[in-house]
Structure 1
Amino acid sequence: MVKIVCKNQSGDQITFGWFDPLWVSSIDGLGTDYDVYTSKNSGQDGENYNGSDAKLRNIVITLDVKKADYQVQRNRLYSFFQPRAPGVFYYYEGDESRKITYYVEKVEPGGDDNDQVRTLTVSLICPDPKFYALDDQLTQLAVWQGCIRFPLRITDPFVVTKKVNTLIGNVHNPSAVPMGLTVTFRASGTVVNPSLYDVNRHELMQINMTMHAGDVIVITTGDGRKRVKLISGGVTTNINNKMLYPPKWLQACQGDNLYRYNAESGIDSLSVTIKSTQAYWGA
């Protein structure tokens, strides 16, 4: 069974499907749509392939609404879909579920189609055409593990936590769509120039700065979301200029992706996690 859920900027949700009161008559824009660029020389048979890219996604939902309930449902959609604010479109089919961020293009009432129902059309624009899994994948390269167990026994020395170093972690991507990463560096002491190295592709992503105890650096590498933020003393600062030049925005390609973290000094005071979200070209 297919179900569609839209969530707006306020966190409210509305559900569409093959059921009342908002019966899906048709839905377009869930597949793939690419622009292919070619060039042609004089006298050439055919053309040369220059490249291709995915277009923005336009999801158009046509709904059948019973005439007796039409005005209520029309005004409900007008109130729910607001301009200039992002929402999230969720698509459920069988055991698969995916999501995509949208902006509202229009809500269009239809005419008198028959004696029983009238139509409403909802058009959503998705600047990022990729669908994403609902849950994130978390890879921990170095974390602090609690050592307190109950019943409590006091020993000398009394160890509250210990650091577990993995150094190298694997981010698996079963899809052909590269996954952007959210890399988080946390310092429990002084750390100089923390970095993450792509073992497979020999690329280094390094932040040229000194971290102090309590500092957090968050790097996001997804398309349209490439940025570096420092959180220190409760204040968030953009530090894109601190990335080693030329910048390498590491992403997880299809298959296994091995990453190793490092620092010029203070590596024992550095904890690293990598968050990724599976991406798809279609629903």
Structure 2
Amino acid sequence: MQKASYINERGQSIHFDIAPPFILQSIEGTGNVSVNLNTYSTPNHDGKYIKDSKLNMRHVVLRTTIKARNNKQLFEYREFISSIFNPKLKGTLEYKTPNGTKKINAVIEETPLFSEYKGDTVVCLINLLCPDPYWYDLHEKHYTFYTPVTPAFSFPLNTKSNEYFSLGYESTTTKVVNNGHVQTPLFLKVEGGVKNIFLENLTTGEFIRINKKINSTDTLVINTADGQKEVSLIKEDGKKSNAIGMMSLDSSFLYLDIGENVLKYTAESDSGSATLHLQWNHKYLGV
């Protein structure tokens, strides 16, 4: 059974399924999306070599039937659909299949097209354009690292050489699984009095290093998504400032690879509530 819902940025929503008044007849574009290949050729060689590929925007078409109790209600439904699918507003399409529900961000490519009505029934075509062609789970995944709170210290060994033995911080590792079809970015939020943050994806070798102290009243946020890359510091009063300078030059805006990822986290804390929150969502090529 297929069901679909659309929610615009004003919070207005509409639901399509097998029951009146808004019956989902078909939905196109949930799987296929065109690809641009970046190729190059060399002298005296047949064909071309593929350098990389890029997905184009996704087009989704909903074919629906509006079934009303009478002619007046039919035109009320038509007006309601036109108000929901407003080209001036962005929105989210949710699509339910036997394999679960996924969502995709969308805009209106053209206003809804209504056929000639017959009594209390009319067919409606809704054309959506999805600049980001990936489908996502309805809810993001989360994981929280709790920073060690015991400070490093050293003590002398009972030897004649006056040697010292130092105790530092034990790193924390965890396995995170990316069940999507491609790599996916991370959103990080650091809270509590903490310094010398180091997060590494041992699977890919990428890491983020912050060699500064984050005060217990401040929050550091890092977004590694393309087009949204950000390192910002949020003060207690809510003021937000660019903090890209806090990240070491050899750091990367790391991603989760497809499948299992092993993440290693190390930091120092002078607060009992220091945490590193991770947030991500799986990206699907089609549903």
Q: So what's the TM-score if we normalise by structure 2?
A: 0.79
CA offset digits 1:96-146 (Å, max 9, x no partner): 1111111222223233276774322212221111111112222222169xx
Identity level (%) = 25
The amino acid of 1:10's aligned partner reads R
| 1:92 pairs with one of 92, 96, 106 | 96
The amino acid of 2:175's aligned partner reads N
In structure 2, distance between residues paired with 1:185 and 1:132: 25
Residues 257, 42 of structure 1: alpha-carbon distance in 2 compared, 3 angstrom cutoff: closer
In structure 2, distance between residues paired with 1:205 and 1:5: 38
In structure 1, distance between residues paired with 2:77 and 2:248: 54
- 1:180 lines up with 2:185 in the alignment: yes
Matches within 5 A, 1:51-62: 51-62=52-63
Contact 1:184–1:219 (CA under 8 A) maintained in structure 2: yes
Offset at residue 84 of structure 1 (A)? 3.7
Gaps of 5+ in 1: 145-164
In structure 2, distance between residues paired with 1:85 and 1:166: 46
**Corresponding residue for residue 214 of structure 2:** 211
The amino acid of 2:186's aligned partner reads L
The amino acid of 2:63's aligned partner reads T
Matches within 5 A, 1:183-262: 183-187=188-192, 189=193, 191-235=194-238, 236-262=240-266
Matches within 5 A, 1:146-165: none
Q: CA RMSD in A?
A: 2.7
- 1:122 lines up with 2:126 in the alignment: yes
In structure 2, distance between residues paired with 1:84 and 1:282: 27
Residues 222, 115 of structure 1: alpha-carbon distance in 2 compared, 3 angstrom cutoff: same
My pick for the range that moved more, 224-233 or 104-113, is 104-113
Contact 1:31–1:282 (CA under 8 A) maintained in structure 2: yes
CA offset digits 1:7-42 (Å, max 9, x no partner): 111222210123322222332211132222334567
- 1:77 lines up with 2:78 in the alignment: no
Contact 2:171–2:265 (CA under 8 A) maintained in structure 1: no
The amino acid of 2:138's aligned partner reads L
Residues 113, 80 of structure 1: alpha-carbon distance in 2 compared, 3 angstrom cutoff: closer
Structure 1 stretches (4+) deviating beyond 6 angstroms?
113-116
Count residues in correspondence: 260
Contact 1:107–1:120 (CA under 8 A) maintained in structure 2: no
In structure 2, distance between residues paired with 1:111 and 1:229: 50
The amino acid of 2:187's aligned partner reads T
CA offset digits 1:47-77 (Å, max 9, x no partner): 3323211111121112223483542222101
SS at 2:80 equivalent: helix
**Corresponding residue for residue 277 of structure 2:** 273
**Corresponding residue for residue 2 of structure 1:** 2
The amino acid of 2:48's aligned partner reads E
Q: So what's the TM-score if we normalise by structure 1?
A: 0.80
The amino acid of 2:182's aligned partner reads V
**Corresponding residue for residue 38 of structure 1:** 39
In structure 2, distance between residues paired with 1:91 and 1:166: 41
